[in-house]
Amino acid sequence: MQFCSSWTSKSGSTSAADVEDPSLERHFKGHRDAVTSVDFSLNKKQLASGSMDSCLMIWSMRPQTRAYRFVGHKDAVMCVQFSPSGHLVASGSRDKTVRLWVPSVKGESTVFKAHTATVRSVHFSSDGQSLVTASDDKTIKVWTVHRQKFLFSLSQHINWVRCARFSPDGRLIVSASDDKTVKLWDKTSRECIHSFCEHGGFVNHVDFHPSGACIAAAGTDNTVKVWDVRMNRLLQHYQVHSAVVNSLSFHPSGNYLVTASNDSTLKILDLLEGRLLYTLHGHQGPATCVAFSRAGDLFASGGSDEQVMVWKTNFDAADYSDVLKTQKSVTSVDGTHHTMQSEMDCGVHLKKTKPQDSDRNHAQQEEETSLVNTLEHIMGQLDVLTQTVSILEQRLTLTEDKLKECLENQQKIIQNKTS
């Protein structure tokens, strides 16, 4: 099998630029059907994937380390996501349930029936306290992560809801549906504050820009659209794929967007210049899902070829002006309508990475890293503790039910004897 990554000009020729291209880091085989969803843990030590084979896989990014296969769902796993701390994984399934897993060798999970039809999407709020789910039952539901308590439902869509996401600040929810709309919701008032109806087909995937000021949507009409959620207007419209766009993911810097399509390619879009930067070929068949790591230095993709691929970003560390210099021949992409940088004002700013040239800065950085690691560890322990309590509660409920059943049977036996 051949893997290649290149940026292509309008004519399709490849440039041998000084800028490093994205490269295939490694690929994982283990699923027995199409991969539906991928997500990295916070520390990049683990990668979760869901599949039509009803399994959730947790892949270790350490070499020579075995993956975990979690079996629990009774039907296809449609979506997976790590909690912000990385110590829980949520999965949604065609069996209408959501499971919360501890991504360790034991693979313990709690399960709750979230919807009356296929669960298409799960997403944690940035504080890790809430979970939003979307379903073919046309509803979006919000739950507490602890005890999985139902909070409220949003139900103005008139067809399957494919995707729902919290905004970075947790105040808004965006949803995408087969009713050809993308809806923006206020989490507090639970009202739909705007509907974007500009897609010519169904909307498969939607997500917030890291700034929270824009959203991007992937459609069955082969397009990717970017809207400003403050002005409720279309900012960019990309027609770079030749088939349905299944998934997209923003780079944490907000400067790039990666997309996955049925045309078997991944595309890297430069949002500030409104142009196509790279076309990546790797999957044999439709590329079904894609996600950047939290740091943006890696991204993962899944396909109908049952493979999970991990790519090294590379280009995000390069001097951006060099990227633009080498891409001058790519003045526009066929059929692409885009606005200029001033219009793509989502609070995004290009930053050049500068080396730490003083011991003081280095020491400060180490201290901050140590503090972050400690806090992450504490959050992780709390997550595991919460999950353990939840599992114990479920077991206690089962024991109570069995005891009740035994007492009822005993009562019936006594009544039969006396009669």
In angstroms, the CA 105 to CA 102 distance is 9
Q: For residue 331, what pLDDT is reported? A: 30
Are 309 and 379 members of one domain? no
Question: Residues 94-122: pLDDT tens digits?
Answer: 999 999 999 988 888 999 999 999 999 99
Are 373 and 312 members of one domain? no
Q: CA 388, 57, 288: angle at the middle one, nearest 5?
A: 130
Are 329 and 413 members of one domain? no
Q: What is the mean pLDDT of residues 310-322?
A: 72
Establish if 359 belongs to a structural domain. Answer: no
Residue of 191, 190, 266, 176 lying closest to 227 (CA atoms): 176
Are 130 and 198 members of one domain? yes
Which contiguous run of DSSP H or E holds residue 292? strand 287-292
Are 64 and 150 members of one domain? yes
Q: Which residues pair with 234 in a beta bridge?
A: 227
Establish if 282 belongs to a structural domain. Answer: yes
Establish if 357 belongs to a structural domain. Answer: no
- For residue 162, pLDDT over 80 is answered with yes
Question: Residues 43-55: pLDDT tens digits?
Answer: 889 999 999 999 9
Which pTM value belongs to this model?
A: 0.75
Establish if 356 belongs to a structural domain. Answer: no
Are 293 and 153 members of one domain? yes
Are 273 and 386 members of one domain? no
Q: For residue 351, what pLDDT is reported? A: 32
The residue segments making up the domain with residue 209 are 4-338
Are 317 and 386 members of one domain? no
Question: Residues 126-155: pLDDT tens digits?
Answer: 999 999 999 999 999 999 999 899 999 999
Distances (CA, A) of 62 to 45, 46, 65, 66, 358: 7, 8, 6, 9, 31
Distances (CA, A) of 222 to 59, 112, 260: 31, 35, 10
Domain end point (choices 316, 338, 360):
338
Are 219 and 165 members of one domain? yes
Establish if 184 belongs to a structural domain. Answer: yes
- Grouping H, G, I as helix, E, B as strand and the rest as coil, residue 298 is strand
Question: Residues 56-100: pLDDT tens digits?
Answer: 999 999 988 899 999 999 999 999 999 999 999 999 999 999 999
Distances (CA, A) of 101 to 25, 38, 109, 305, 416: 27, 15, 4, 26, 45
Question: Residues 374-409: pLDDT tens digits?
Answer: 776 676 667 666 666 666 666 676 777 778 778 888
Structural domain tally of the chain? 2
Are 329 and 377 members of one domain? no
Domain end point (choices 287, 319, 338):
338
Least confident of 63-72, 293-302, 369-378: 369-378
Percent of the chain surpassing pLDDT 70: 76
Least confident of 31-45, 275-289, 352-366: 352-366
Establish if 270 belongs to a structural domain. Answer: yes
In this structure, the strands spanning 97-101 and 109-113 are antiparallel
Distances (CA, A) of 172 to 122, 184, 188: 15, 7, 8
In angstroms, the CA 69 to CA 391 distance is 19
Better-predicted residue by pLDDT, 13 or 199:
199
Establish if 345 belongs to a structural domain. Answer: no
Domain end point (choices 282, 316, 338):
338
Are 256 and 403 members of one domain? no
In angstroms, the CA 9 to CA 304 distance is 27
SS3 content of the chain, % helix, strand, coil (to 5): 15, 40, 45
Query: Residues with Cβ < 8 Å from 106, sequence gap 6 or more?
Result: none
Are 118 and 260 members of one domain? yes
Establish if 144 belongs to a structural domain. Answer: yes
Question: Residues 240-292: pLDDT tens digits?
Answer: 999 999 999 999 999 999 999 999 999 999 999 999 999 999 999 999 999 99
CATH number at residue 187: 2.130.10.10
